[in-house]
Amino acid sequence: MFDNYIIEIDDKAAGILVKSGRAFAFHALERTFAALEGMMFPDAIAAERAARKVRRRLAPAFALSAAE
């Protein structure tokens, strides 16, 4: 197993996971994912799911800003 991971959503780096004990700490690389900053996840899959959930929740806002 690796100690660090990059989480990508829609081909963009969302954050970095850094091993901390038995869990991974999320460090956001984009403001979109700031709500996850410092959150601990048991594995990379759980962190990616959380990042995708954040992205889906914000999807309508992205659609509006792209249309302007």
The DSSP code for 27 is: E
Give the model confidence (pLDDT) of 9-63 as tens digits.
Answer: 988 999 999 999 999 999 999 999 999 999 999 999 999 999 999 999 887 655 5
- Give the C-alpha separation, 26 to 13, whole Å: 12
Q: Is the pLDDT of residue 1 over 60?
A: yes
Q: What is the largest CA-CA distance in the chain?
A: 45
pTM over the 0.85 mark: no
Residue 65: count of CB within 10 angstroms of its CB:
8
Give the model confidence (pLDDT) of 48-61 as tens digits.
Answer: 999 999 999 887 65
